[in-house]
């Protein structure tokens, strides 16, 4: 039962990493799109493809928080009291990002757009970085069971920094692939080439960082390293293969296939982390079973998750299909 | 932690984080709650206008619906992100609450998450579906927004009700065991709190929107568009107001029976007695009530329908958990403000009803319009005051009888920095929100462009690529 709850929670983490990640990555491309004149067309594509979905994608984060504090309350408190610096900054970053994005659609003067656009784009990089450091801190076992761990080294350490950088890169990669697909759907060759090039560059950089990361993990988080290279190995390989395939097919495959591959690449590496960590929630000191809430609580969460499956999943599917068929227009 | 704060913590055993944590929680919730009515109830007004627009081929109503949805879109985004901050804060500021009681207290939030999902999804479909969806499917895509708004509100308030009247769990060895989810969710405070909040959301949205159009009418824009905007919003608000007063009265009696400490603070009653007067205004100084106006036996009559009704005073609360005088005064005055505003708005609603009954038209008398123009602000004041009654009235408890606020708070980090950064950011975001809304209005008032065409940065896709957006430098 507790394992099941952990799986549901982790499914939320994966969904947020993929969908929220694609949103964050779009912000990354927004930031790097250059001056107002040059960046106009890519920014416009970012806007059009992001506007209808970002709020729904963002709810996955709420889902993770809520699942965490209900199913694993002590672990939640431990994480929050240890990693409060990056988490607090993430929260503020999310406010900046969401409101900046919403405002940008309304203001029309270029200088104002620049300010709110910059707020949106900058926080799109800051937030995933900090979330990545949080993941690194948890994965490398730096959160003590009773919480109140070191407020600095828990997130300023090799694994966390690796996590942060990888988070930014994978977000950028997924977003670039999504935007390439989006541009193709709109028959916009120029933008398609634009984002394809960026997808290729980030894919290569991500690959290199991931390889360097293996060495970092070996030195800094041996348990995670072992787990990833034993139980997690098939998933890590799968992730690499999907990424590579997406890269190779970037100029040919149907948009939907491309998106699927990018999603699989990110999802499988995150799942790999989960598998490597199992059966522990924090380091090797707090197991899922010990941290879990009473069974009746887990049951009610299961019911909520089932209701979500019945209600939310079809609604999300409706939203995405309307968007991809061009029925939703900013 | 600095040496000084360590010393202070040792002396009073109150963590130095308590004050900034409370300030921050109150500030961010107070901000967030203003946006909530727009996600929950404004969308309902929008659907009424939408329905009318389709059914009666009413172009004015259609335009109202369209513009309202754009306003709702902006406010919904700010509401969502400020709500996310609250979720983080529950852990960052109150780990003692979440770590100890998350297994029970978290359940309503999990249900809330479900409704947020649905709300966010259908808001997007509705908001971006105007151009390319057929009218009726588009209208129906808005209905789940209203329904999930009701569900979401009920769930969050269920969590709050549980803090006031906790139930449905047992604690053994410091851990929550044997949780009964249904009793957690449908706790004793759930029904009246959730209903009261929901009605408050409809009042805020109704009077706020009515106020905007009343201001427009006052400035001489006496067209059908403004009258219709006023009529739709005001009608909803006017219908809800008397119901709200009834529910508030029920809530007060429930609090009298089940939360005597809070009721003593609301009535600002130092000593247990019968024939308790209803004190309007006033302050509590050194345990005695000053400067209030007394209605003889009023409180006893209202709470038990008889002057002999005994009401417990602050004296029955054990000294270590007795709220200080200034806190009691705050709760009492907040209650008076809320109730006062409730009755003032009832009078306004009656005025509207009488004129409508006699003339079948929206009153356009300057006084009525001026009162309506400020009514929206008053509802927000009542909303905030209501939460102050509930939240401050619960102190020093976070979970009544179970967890003191000072045991719930985090004991690490300098929260003043976090608080400062949050205030700064929220002030900017709040100001920008107001600015952006005014900007939208300005576009709409321009004769040629009606604002719907605004796009950030560059040209549009395909069919309307000819329209250049804004004044690109
Ligand atoms: C479900 C949870 C929840 C909900 C719906 C609310 N609150 Fe609350 N509030 C808390 C959860 C909470 C809390 C985290 O549990 C605090 C911190 C300490 C405490 O006793 O309760 C709190 C404290 C707290 C305080 C400080 C009280 C004091 O220190 O004297 C204020 C002024 C408010 N809140 C105001 C609000 C407002 C304006 C709300 C409207 C949105 C609101 N609360 C809803
Ligand atoms: C401790 C208290 C609270 C927490 C933790 C909280 C949490 C949240 C979160 C995480 C969101 C964003 C969800 C999204 O992305 O759509 C949100 C928005 C919302 N909140 Fe709160 N909330 C609190 C208080 C309240 C209260 C008292 C209400 C009262 C009815 C409320 C009603 C809503 C609604 C309806 C939304 C939907 C979007 C909108 O703002 O229009 N919340 N809240
Ligand atoms: C006029 C008669 C009214 C009465 C007798 C009344 C009574 C009460 C009482 C007793 C509470 C405390 C409940 C608790 O702590 O559990 C409360 C809370 C509250 N009131 Fe009122 N109220 C009235 C009008 C209003 C109005 C007009 C508004 C806003 C438009 C409002 C908004 C609130 C809110 C938001 C709360 C806090 C949360 C909740 O209980 O839902 N009230 N009210």
Query: In angstroms, rounded to a whole number, what is the distance separating the alpha carbons of residues B13 and B16?
Result: 9
Query: In angstroms, rounded to a whole number, what is the distance separating the alpha carbons of residues B321 and B301?
Result: 28
Higher pLDDT, A107 or B426: B426
> Is the same domain home to B47 and B172?
yes
Query: In angstroms, rounded to a whole number, what is the distance separating the alpha carbons of residues A49 and A74?
Result: 39
- Considering the domain boundaries, does residue A222 fall inside one? yes
- Considering the domain boundaries, does residue B198 fall inside one? no
Contact between A47 and B131 using a beta-carbon 8 Å cutoff: no
Distance B209 CA to ligand 2 centre (A): 21
Query: In angstroms, rounded to a whole number, what is the distance separating the alpha carbons of residues B120 and B116?
Result: 6
A77 within 8 A of B439, measured Cβ to Cβ: no
- Considering the domain boundaries, does residue B7 fall inside one? no
Contact between B456 and A104 using a beta-carbon 8 Å cutoff: yes
A84 within 8 A of B92, measured Cβ to Cβ: yes
Protein residue closest via CA to atom 7 of ligand 3 = B248
pLDDT of res. B269: 87
**Residue B270 token pair:** 């130092």
Query: In angstroms, rounded to a whole number, what is the distance separating the alpha carbons of residues A224 and B461?
Result: 47
Q: Would you say residue B460 has pLDDT above 70? A: no
The phi and psi torsions of B178 (rounded to 5 degrees) equal 50, 60
Q: How confident is the model at residue B441 (pLDDT cuts 50, 70, 90)?
A: confident
A-chain residues near B127 (CB < 8 A): 52
Q: How confident is the model at residue B4 (pLDDT cuts 50, 70, 90)?
A: very low
pLDDT of res. B173: 79
Query: What's the mean pLDDT when you consider all of chain A?
Result: 84
Residue A77: domain span: 2-324
**Residues pairing with A109 in the sheet:** B471
B-chain residues near A98 (CB < 8 A): 77-78, 80-81, 84
Q: pLDDT tens digit string along B189-246?
A: 899 999 999 999 999 999 999 999 999 888 888 888 888 999 999 999 999 999 999 9
Query: In angstroms, rounded to a whole number, what is the distance separating the alpha carbons of residues A234 and A212?
Result: 19
> Is the same domain home to B140 and B264?
no
pLDDT of res. A59: 87
pLDDT of res. B202: 96
Protein residue closest via CA to atom 9 of ligand 2 = B83
Q: How confident is the model at residue B188 (pLDDT cuts 50, 70, 90)?
A: confident
The number of beta carbons lying within 10 Å of the beta carbon of residue B12 is 11
B-chain residues near A327 (CB < 8 A): 129, 132-133
Instruction: Give the best residue of A73, A90, A311, A321 to mutate against chain B (max B CB count within 10 A).
Output: A73
Q: How confident is the model at residue B325 (pLDDT cuts 50, 70, 90)?
A: confident
Q: How confident is the model at residue B453 (pLDDT cuts 50, 70, 90)?
A: very low
- Ligand 3 atom with the smallest distance to the CA of B382 is 29
A-chain residues near B114 (CB < 8 A): 304, 307-308, 311-312
A99: CATH = 1.20.1630.10
B469 within 8 A of B460, measured Cβ to Cβ: yes
Query: What's the mean pLDDT when you consider all of chain B?
Result: 84
Total of domains in chain B? 2
Q: pLDDT tens digit string along B154-166?
A: 999 999 999 999 9
- The ligand with the least distance to the CA atom of A58 is 2
Contact between B128 and A51 using a beta-carbon 8 Å cutoff: yes
pLDDT of res. A196: 87
Q: pLDDT tens digit string along A177-194?
A: 888 888 888 888 888 888
The phi and psi torsions of B241 (rounded to 5 degrees) equal -55, -55
Higher pLDDT, A329 or A75: A75
> Is the same domain home to B308 and B340?
yes
Distance B353 CA to ligand 2 centre (A): 33
Q: pLDDT tens digit string along B61-81?
A: 888 898 898 899 889 989 988
E strands within chain A?
280-282, 286-287
If one residue of B83, B84, B117, B399 were mutated to test the ligand 2 pocket, choosing by the most ligand atoms within 8 A of its CB, it would be B83
Distance of CA B187 to the CA centre of its chain: 20
> Is the same domain home to B346 and B452?
no
Q: What is the mean pLDDT of residues B53-65?
A: 87
pLDDT of res. A278: 81
Total of domains in chain A? 1
**Residue B49 token pair:** 């206008």
The DSSP element (H or E) to which B236 belongs, if any, is helix B224-258
pLDDT of res. A219: 85
Protein residue closest via CA to atom 31 of ligand 1 = B26
The number of beta carbons lying within 10 Å of the beta carbon of residue A156 is 16
> Is the same domain home to B353 and B438?
no
| Three-state DSSP class for residue B271 | coil
Q: Would you say residue B112 has pLDDT above 70? A: yes
Contact between A296 and B473 using a beta-carbon 8 Å cutoff: no
CA distance A310 to chain B (A): 11
| Three-state DSSP class for residue B342 | helix
Return the closest-CA partner of residue B410 out of B71, B110, B96, B172. B96
> Is the same domain home to B286 and B154?
no
Q: What is the mean pLDDT of residues A123-140?
A: 89
For a pLDDT cut of 90, what percent of chain B falls above it? 37
Instruction: Give the best residue of A23, A33, A88 to mutate against chain B (max B CB count within 10 A).
Output: A88
**Residue B161 token pair:** 């009700």
Q: How confident is the model at residue A109 (pLDDT cuts 50, 70, 90)?
A: low
Q: Count of residues for chain A? A: 330
> Is the same domain home to B392 and B348?
yes
Half-sphere exposure at residue A280, Cβ-oriented, CA atoms within 13 angstroms = 19
The number of beta carbons lying within 10 Å of the beta carbon of residue A25 is 31
- Considering the domain boundaries, does residue A329 fall inside one? no
Q: How confident is the model at residue B284 (pLDDT cuts 50, 70, 90)?
A: confident
CA distance A200 to chain B (A): 26
Region of residue A279 (phi > 0: left; psi between -120 and 50: alpha; otherwise: beta):
alpha
pLDDT of res. A295: 84
A178 within 8 A of A50, measured Cβ to Cβ: no
> Is the same domain home to B48 and B157?
yes
- Considering the domain boundaries, does residue B54 fall inside one? yes
Distance B26 CA to ligand 1 centre (A): 6
Residue B303: domain span: 244-412
pLDDT of res. B44: 94
Give yes or no for residue B87 CB within 6 A of ligand 2.
yes
Q: Would you say residue B470 has pLDDT above 90? A: no
Distance B181 CA to ligand 1 centre (A): 22
> Is the same domain home to B257 and B313?
yes
- The ligand with the least distance to the CA atom of B105 is 1
- Considering the domain boundaries, does residue B45 fall inside one? yes
Q: pLDDT tens digit string along A240-291?
A: 898 888 888 877 777 778 888 888 888 888 888 888 888 888 877 888 878 7
Q: Would you say residue B141 has pLDDT above 80? A: yes
> Is the same domain home to B252 and B392?
yes
Instruction: Give the best residue of B147, B169, B456, B460 to mutate against chain A (max A CB count within 10 A).
Output: B456
The DSSP element (H or E) to which B473 belongs, if any, is none
Q: Which residues of A284-314 are buried (b: 16+ CB within 10 A; e: fewer)?
A: eebebeebbbbebbbebbeebbeebeebbee
**Residue A329 token pair:** 């227009």
Protein residue closest via CA to atom 28 of ligand 1 = B392
Distance B352 CA to ligand 1 centre (A): 35
> Is the same domain home to B160 and B254?
no
**Residue B58 token pair:** 């009413």
> Is the same domain home to B270 and B148?
no
Query: In angstroms, rounded to a whole number, what is the distance separating the alpha carbons of residues B348 and B362?
Result: 13
Contact between B98 and A96 using a beta-carbon 8 Å cutoff: no
Q: Would you say residue A143 has pLDDT above 50? A: yes
ipTM of the complex: 0.83
pLDDT of res. A29: 87
Size of interface A-B (CB pairs under 8 A): 279
What's the pTM value of the predicted model, to 2 decimals? 0.86
């Amino acid at each position: 039962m507790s394992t099941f709850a952990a799986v549901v929670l982790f499914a939320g983490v994966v969904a947020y990493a993929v969908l929220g990640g694609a949103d964050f990555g779009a912000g990354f491309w927004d930031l790097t799109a250059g001056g107002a004149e040059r960046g106009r067309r890519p920014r416009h594509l970012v806007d059009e493809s992001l506007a209808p979905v970002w709020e729904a994608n963002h709810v996955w984060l709420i889902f993770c928080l809520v699942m965490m504090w209900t199913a694993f309350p002590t672990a939640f408190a431990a994480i929050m009291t240890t990693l409060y610096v990056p988490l607090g900054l993430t929260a503020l970053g999310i406010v900046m990002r969401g409101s900046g994005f919403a405002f940008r659609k309304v203001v029309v003067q270029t200088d104002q757009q620049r300010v709110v656009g910059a707020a949106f784009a900058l926080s799109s990089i800051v937030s995933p970085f900090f979330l990545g450091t949080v993941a690194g801190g948890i994965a490398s076992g730096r959160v003590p069971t009773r919480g109140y761990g070191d407020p600095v080294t828990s997130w300023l350490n090799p694994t966390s920094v690796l996590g942060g950088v990888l988070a930014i890169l994978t977000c950028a990669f997924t977003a670039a692939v999504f935007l390439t697909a989006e541009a193709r759907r709109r028959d916009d060759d120029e933008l398609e080439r634009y984002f394809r090039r960026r997808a290729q560059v980030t894919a290569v950089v991500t690959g290199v960082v991931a390889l360097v990361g293996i060495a970092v993990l070996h030195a800094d988080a041996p348990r995670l390293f072992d787990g990833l290279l034993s139980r997690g190995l098939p998933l890590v390989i799968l992730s690499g293969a999907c990424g590579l395939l997406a890269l190779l097919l970037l100029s040919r495959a149907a948009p939907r296939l491309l998106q699927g591959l990018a999603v699989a690449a990110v999802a499988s590496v995150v799942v790999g982390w989960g598998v490597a960590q199992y059966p522990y929630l924090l380091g090797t000191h707090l197991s899922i079973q010990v941290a879990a809430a009473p069974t009746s609580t887990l049951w009610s969460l299961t019911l909520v998750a089932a209701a979500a499956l019945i209600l939310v999943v079809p609604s999300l599917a409706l939203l995405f299909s309307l968007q991809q068929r061009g029925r939703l227009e900013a | 932690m600095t040496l000084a704060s360590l010393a202070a913590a040792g002396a009073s055993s109150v963590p130095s984080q308590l004050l900034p944590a409370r300030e921050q929680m109150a500030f961010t919730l107070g901000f967030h709650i203003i946006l909530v009515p727009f996600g929950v109830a404004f969308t309902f007004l929008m659907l009424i206008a939408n329905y009318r627009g389709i059914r009666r081929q009413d172009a004015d109503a259609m335009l109202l619906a369209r513009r309202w949805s754009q306003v709702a879109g902006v406010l919904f985004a700010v509401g969502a992100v400020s709500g996310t901050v609250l979720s983080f804060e529950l852990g960052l500021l109150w780990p003692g609450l979440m770590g100890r009681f998350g297994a029970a207290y978290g359940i309503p939030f999990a249900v809330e998450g479900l409704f947020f999902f649905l709300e966010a999804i259908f808001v997007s479909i509705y908001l971006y579906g105007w151009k390319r969806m057929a009218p009726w499917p588009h209208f129906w895509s808005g209905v789940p927004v209203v329904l999930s708004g009701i569900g979401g509100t009920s769930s969050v308030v269920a969590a709050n009700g549980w803090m006031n009247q906790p139930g449905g769990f047992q604690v053994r060895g410091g851990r929550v065991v044997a949780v009964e989810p249904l009793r957690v969710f449908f706790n004793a405070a759930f029904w009246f709190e959730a209903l009261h909040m929901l009605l408050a959301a409809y009042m805020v949205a109704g009077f706020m929107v009515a106020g905007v159009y009343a201001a427009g009418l006052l400035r001489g824009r006496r067209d059908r568009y403004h009258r219709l905007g006023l009529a739709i919003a005001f009608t909803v608000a006017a219908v809800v107001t008397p119901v709200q007063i009834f529910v508030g009265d029920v809530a007060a009696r429930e609090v009298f029976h089940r939360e005597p400490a809070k009721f003593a603070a609301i009535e600002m009653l130092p000593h247990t007695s019968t024939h308790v007067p209803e004190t309007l205004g006033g302050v509590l100084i050194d345990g005695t009530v000053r400067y209030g106006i007394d209605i003889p036996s009023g409180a006893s009559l209202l709470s038990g329908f008889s002057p002999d009704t005994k009401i417990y005073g602050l004296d029955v609360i054990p000294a270590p958990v007795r709220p200080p005088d200034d806190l009691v005064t705050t709760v009492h005055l907040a209650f008076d403000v809320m109730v006062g505003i409730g009755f003032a708005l009832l009078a306004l609603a009656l005025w509207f009803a009488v004129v409508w009954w006699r003339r079948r038209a929206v009153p356009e008398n300057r006084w009525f319009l001026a009162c309506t123009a400020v009514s929206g602000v008053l509802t927000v004041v009542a909303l905030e005051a209501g939460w102050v009654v509930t939240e401050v009235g619960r102190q020093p408890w976070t979970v009544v009888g179970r967890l003191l606020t000072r045991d719930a708070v985090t004991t690490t980090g300098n929260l003043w920095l976090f608080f400062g950064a949050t205030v700064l950011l929220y002030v900017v975001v709040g100001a920008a929100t107001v600015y952006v809304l005014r900007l939208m209005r300005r576009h709409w008032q321009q004769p040629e462009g009606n604002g719907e065409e605004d796009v950030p940065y560059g040209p549009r896709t395909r069919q309307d690529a000819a329209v250049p957006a804004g004044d690109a430098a």
